[in-house]
Amino acid sequence: MAKHLSRHSGDAHFSPMKFRRGWIWFLMGTLISLVAAFFVRTLLSPGQIRYWVEQSLQEAKLPVQVEFSDIRLEFSRGFFPWFGLVAEDVSILSQQSCKTLSEFNVDRLAIPLSLTGLLDKQLYVSHLYLGQAQFRYMPAECPGEEEAFDPSSSKEAGDQESTASQIGRPPGATRSGSGGDEVGSSPIIGRFPFAQEKIDKLGQDYRAAWEELNSQVAQHLGEVLIEKFELLDGRRPGLRLEFRSLRWFAKEVNDEPTWQFKSRLRLGGDWFEGHSSSNFDIRIGLTQSKTDLFLEGNYKEGKVRWEGAYDWKDNHLRLELQQNQVPLSPILQILKERRVVTNDIQPKFVWLSCHLAYEGPILSLNEKPIVMEPCSLQGDLGEVSIASWRWYPWRLPVFDPMEVTLKELDLQKLVQMINRTGLSGILSRFGTLSGVLRVENPNQMSFRGELRDIEMAFSNKGVRGKQSVPLLKGELNLVDDRVSGLFPEMELEDGEFGGSISFNLDRAFREGMLQVAIDRLNFHPSIQKLMVNGTLTPVSIYGQGKVENGELVAWRGEFGIRELKSEDWSLEDVKLSTELAEGQFVSQNKIKRIELKSGGDFYRLVRPLFLDEKGLEESLVMQKVSGRVQFGKDTGSWDRVSATALGRVVLSSSGKWLADRSLEGTAFVDFPVLKLLRWDISGNLDRLQIQPSAKMLKELARRHPEIRPPGSMEFVRTGDMLVKEISSQSVEKLKTIGQKVIETARKIIPEGTPTDEAKLGPEQKKKASPKPDKKVNPSSDDPTLKQ
């Protein structure tokens, strides 16, 4: 044990020579480092590097101006060793304003350097690292110097138009803008923007540019990393594309050099202010002969996936766009704010799902369709779907025949979405629309479907009522500029409909004809009560009308009602022959029977005309009622209105009302004994006056002095249908006036002149005397005649 300890104790002592050699190497390393640091600081100082870089840029004679605030060498990135050149606040500007005013800015640019390259006096750059970068596109100040890709501006325009005429336009089609009115024309139809020579030249330029960049840049520069890269358009300041973690690198795929771009794309700017949009994964692959694009991501609750590829050798395009449950409301709001679409479109909850695809030569875009299948709009307003739609952007017609399916489309929300009011005065609830729209071309369409849960509004004397329509079936057809429709089936809640309504109008529904052939039409009892203050049997309507400037200007038709009843009156077998022409509505009326019940307003109006005729105490029944009524905007008339009461008393009347609402008319009552007793009608439409004529008073005073007819009567209209007497004070005043008229008439008769009755003999007097039940005397039981 002691021996062992002794050996280890001896090994613990270092040799003096070894100790001195370690310190020598340490001191030599420190000295070399100090010399190297002094050399780097002296020869590679920030000022010296700035001078070298600026001198190199001047000698390169670049078409752009490069500026930076600071440039230096760094030997580490964080805790890791790194040797490279770092520049800050780098700006690249164009020196030729007639070419472009675009600019590129980056806050930090890092270039790793190779020490071997520096010793060989060569600058090898294999990687670039950028921080916050921004590219702003600005158009040139000299538009004449900047040539855009416009096929119509070159001499190939003529050849291109010829090609488009042969390939993209069917025989007889008219090019858009030439003044033709071709069926299926569309404002998006224009010249086909691609021509074979132009496409070939574009492909050659692309391959040449790619080959040059690949040999000069890609073979030396292996990778570019950018933390954040923004693309701005000076013409649209509110639109910004933002790439995060952008990576560009070059590699070989199947022995072919390939450039790859990968990044996270975000749509920014005030276009999308206040609207969330998730980042999109984007990948771009470039080879000398092919370009590939892939984009995938989420927008709110929707998902987007786009894929595309273009072969520069064969000019072959493959495109596939898939959108699933993408909300349209925020997108449309953005477009409205930027005035891309009208403010009339105001959806709340609408989602788009659509698959769009095309594959084929790019020159076949005017022959082969872009296929959209399936596509649908879903939301709170219902669902609109298309199983398949084939769209030709540069051909007439622009699409193949297709079918659009509508499922429970809420018309109320649709009307609100496009900021319209609709038929708000007629429909209180628009209901839901379902059916199939068949589109042959933009000028030939047909729709067959149904409306459910409609509600119609009726109003009378300030009181509103609603009629529910559970179902309305029909069809619409568009041919050129005419729209025809047929509605053969309608269900009315507690009502009845049998017949059809059809029309043929222009696209704006302002010019055309309509036809009505209804055998039975009856509304809910509450609507009947509202409109006629009673009940009625089903109405029949047959007629035809003409519409001009959105208004009904002509009509000819027949109306028929079996029975119409209210508390105060009833009508039986009503037939109206109506006609509207030149602003005048004419109705030839025939009514088999009218009954006016005592106590009713119309009874109080008509009953005094029959004096004390018996049998009218409870009601006044008139038969064989006929007459003609005509009215326009402010004037009207009634003519040859006649009715028979009690089988022997005939009432007839004619008259008119003027633009100032004043009335002029007469009424004649023909009794078996007293012929053509005349009553004068005057006043206005709101205050009606009826009084016996002077001739009538004279006749009664001469032949029947015992008869005291009522004096002037006045009635006030308090509603659309009701007529009532005025106050008792006014009645007393009119009684005095009537009495004076009677006394004046009696003074006209010479005293002592025998009447015709006095000249008769005893037997003749007996024959001429009326029977007791026909005695003409004022009735003491009629309160109306007491005035």
pLDDT tens-digit map of 148-195: 444 334 444 444 444 333 333 333 344 333 333 333 334 444 566 778
Q: How many CB atoms lie within 10 A of CB 612?
A: 19
Work out how many domains the chain is built from and give that number. 2
Question: Cα(787)–Cα(784) distance, rounded to whole angstroms?
Answer: 6
Last residue of a domain, which of 97, 123, 143? 143
Instruction: Report how far residue 371's alpha carbon sits from residue 367's, in angstroms, rounded to the nearest whole number.
Output: 12
- Structure confidence at residue 523 (pLDDT): 92
Pairwise CA distance, residues 274 & 700, whole Å: 91
Tell me which of 112, 127, 143 is where a domain ends.
Answer: 143
How confident is the model over 754-783, as a mean pLDDT?
38
- Pick the range with the lowest mean pLDDT from 227-241, 396-410, 453-467, 563-577: 227-241
pLDDT, average across residues 111-138: 79
Host H or E run for residue 306: strand 302-311
The whole-angstrom separation of Cα 410 and Cα 349 is 12
Closest CA to 730 of 689, 780, 686, 693: 689
- Greater confidence (127 vs 725) lies with 127
pLDDT band, residue 75 (cuts 50/70/90) = confident
> What percent of the chain clears pLDDT 90, i.e. is strictly above it?
32
- On whether residue 254 sits in a domain, the answer given is no
Containing 163, the helix (H) or strand (E) segment is helix 156-167
- Examine residue 374 and say whether the peptide bond preceding it is cis (omega within 30 degrees of 0): yes
- Residue 642: inside a domain: yes
Round to whole Å and give the CA distance between 612 and 627: 26
Residue 450 lies in a domain: no
Q: Is residue 372, in this structure, part of any structural domain at all?
A: no
Instruction: Name the phi and psi angles at 51, rounded to 5.
Output: -65, -45
pLDDT for 735: 42
90-99, 412-421, 749-758: least confidently modelled range: 749-758
CB atoms within 10 A of CB 133: 20
Is 418 inside any structural domain?
A: no
Residue-range definition of the domain harbouring residue 730: 601-752+768-786
| pLDDT (average), residues 733-753 | 42
Q: CA-CA distances (angstroms) from residue 489 to 182, 452, 501, 509, 533?
A: 36, 12, 9, 22, 28
Check residue 180 and give its pLDDT: 37
**Secondary structure letter of residue 711 according to DSSP:** -
Average pLDDT over residues 528-556: 91
Q: Is residue 50 part of a domain?
A: yes
Closest CA to 280 of 303, 260, 312, 259: 303
Please tell me the predicted confidence (pLDDT) of residue 191: 65
C-alpha span between 605 and 717 (Å, rounded)? 11
Pairwise pLDDT comparison (251 vs 709), residue with the higher score: 251
User: Residue 378 in contact with residue 351, Cβ under 8 Å?
Assistant: yes
Q: Tell the burial category of 723 from Cβ atoms under 10 Å away from its Cβ (0-12, 13-18, 19+).
A: middle
Note whether residue 67 is domain-resident: yes
Average pLDDT for residues 123-136, to the nearest whole number?
Answer: 86
Residue ending a domain, choose from 124, 143, 162:
143
What is the distance between the alpha carbons of residues 358 and 372, in angstroms, rounded to a whole number? 9
Opening angle at CA 9, ends 8 and 14, nearest 5: 100
Q: Say which amino acid occupies 587.
A: S
Residue 244 has pLDDT above 50, yes or no: yes
pLDDT for 83 beyond 90: no
CA-CA distance, 263 to 270, in Å (whole number)?
Answer: 22
Residues 666 and 681 sit within 8 Å (Cβ to Cβ): yes
Give kind and range of the element (H or E) at residue 787: none
How many Cβ atoms sit within 10 Å of the Cβ of residue 69? 10
- Tell if the pTM clears 0.85, that is, is over it: no
pLDDT tens digits, one per residue of 266-283: 876 655 555 555 678 999
H or E stretch including 99? none
For residue 151, being part of any structural domain is answered with: no
